[in-house]
Amino acid sequence: MPLDGKQRIWLTGATSGIGRALALRLLADGHRVALSARSESALAELAEGHANALLLPLDVSDRAAVARAGERLAEAFGGLDLALLNAGTCEYLEARSFDVDLVERVFAPNFHGAIYCIDAALPLLRRARVEGGRPLLAATSSAAAYLPLPRAEAYGASKAALSHFLESLRLGLHGEGIDVSLIHPGFVKTPLTDRNDFAMPLRIEADQAAEAILQGLARHRLDIHFPRRFTLLVKLMGLLPPALRYRLGLRLVRQPSTAETTP
C-alpha cells in the first residue's frame, strides 16, 4: 500500500542501507523528499535525476545543524507530512574492555540525534495538521530494543531509549492528531551488518525492509517490525522472567579467545 498522495517527507540516514532503499522508493513514487546524511556527495548521487529531492547534508548529532535544517525545511516545504528518522550507527561493547567513548558515540546519533530531529520536525508536523493532514512521526529503532543481548549494551540501550521515548511521546501527541510509528527491524543486509562477526538469522535485503516499512507507514502502525518470524520470537523472549532471560543471554555470550585473555 503506497503512502497517500504526494507527501512532504524528511528522511535522515538516507544514503546507506535501509535509508537508501527508502529514499529511492519515495522519490520514485513522486513525494517531495528532503534527504539528510553526512555525505553531501553521496546525497547528490542519490538525488540525481530527481527534481523532487531536497538535499540537506547533516550530522544529526550536531544540535545546531539540525535546528538550521528545520528552518530550511520550513522555507522549502512549509510543513511535513512525514518525518522518517532513520540515521544511526552500531558498535559492540566488550565488557572486558569497557569503553565509555564507544557508548557516547552510539548514543549521539541513535538517541540524541533523533531527539534533535524530533525537535526540528514537530513544528512542521503541527503545520501539516493545521492544514488538515494526518502527519506521522516515525523512527527506526531495532529488534534489539526488545531484549538485552551480550555486546549490545550501547546499541541496544540507545534503541530501547528511543523506543521508550517515542512510545511516551506518542501519548502526548495523540491529542494533537500527530501519529507516531516505531520501526523495529531484525537483521537487514546493510554496510553496518556486513561488519557483524556473528550469525544473523533470517537476514533480509534492504529493499524488503523498505517495503515492510512503507506498508506499515501507510497504515500508521504503532509498531512496524520484520521479518515477523524473527521479531515475534525476540519479543516473546523479552517477556520471559528475568532469570530465564539471564540464562538465555549467557548462552549467547561469546567466549574470549586466547589472545583476548592473555595479558
Cβ(43)–Cβ(27) below 8 Å: no
d(CA 32, CA 77): 8
d(CA 203, CA 185): 10
d(CA 105, CA 155): 10
Start-to-end Cα distance in the chain: 57
Whole-Å CA distances, 117 to 54, 128, 197 = 16, 17, 31
Q: Which of 222, 214, 190 is nearest to 11 (CA)?
A: 214
Q: Which of 69, 83, 192 is nearest to 127 (CA)?
A: 83
Cβ(7)–Cβ(81) below 8 Å: yes
Cβ(51)–Cβ(26) below 8 Å: no
**What pairs with residue 205 in β-bridges?**
none
Cβ(109)–Cβ(68) below 8 Å: no
Q: Which of 92, 116, 146, 155 is catalytic?
A: 155
Cβ(165)–Cβ(110) below 8 Å: no
| 155 tagged catalytic | yes
Active-site annotation, residues: 155
